[in-house]
Structure 1
Amino acid sequence: MPLEWNTSYETGESRLDRQHRRLFDYANQLEGHLDRLRAGEAPDLGELGVFLSFVETHLYLHLTYEELLMRRTGNPAAAQGRAAHARLEAYGQGFRARLAAQGLTLPLLEELHHVMHTWLLGHVVRVDVGLQTALQASPQPAGAAASPPSRLLQAG
Structure 2
Amino acid sequence: MITWKEDYNTGVQEIDEQHQDLFDYINQLDQCIRDEEYEGARIEIILNFLQMFCATHFCLEEVCMRQRACPVQEKNKKAHDKFLSFYSEFQDKYRTTNNKELLIRKLREALETWLVNHILKIDMHIKKCNNVNKAVY
Same fold (TM over 0.5): yes
Unpaired stretches in structure 1, ≥5 consecutive residues = 150-156
SS at match of 2:71: coil
Q: Decide which of 119, 127, 131 is 1:137's aligned counterpart.
A: 131
1:91 and 1:44 mapped to 2: Cα distance?
Answer: 19
Where does 1:39-118 land on structure 2 (aligned, <5 Å)?
A: 43=38, 45-103=40-98, 105-118=100-113
Which runs of 5 or more structure 2 residues have no equivalent in the other structure? none
Aligned residues: 137
Structure 2 Cα separation of the partners of residues 138 and 130 of structure 1? 13
Q: Which amino acid in structure 2 is aligned with residue 36 of structure 1? A: D
Report the aligned-residue RMSD.
2.1
Q: Does 1:9 align with 2:3?
A: no
Distance 1:74 1:49, change over 3 A: same
CA distance in 2, matches of 1:73, 1:124: 17
Amino acid at match of 1:137: N
Q: Which amino acid aligns with 1:138?
A: V
Residue of structure 2 equivalent to 1:23: 22
* TM superposition shift of 1:103: 5.0
| Structure 1 segments (4+ residues) deviating >4 Å | none
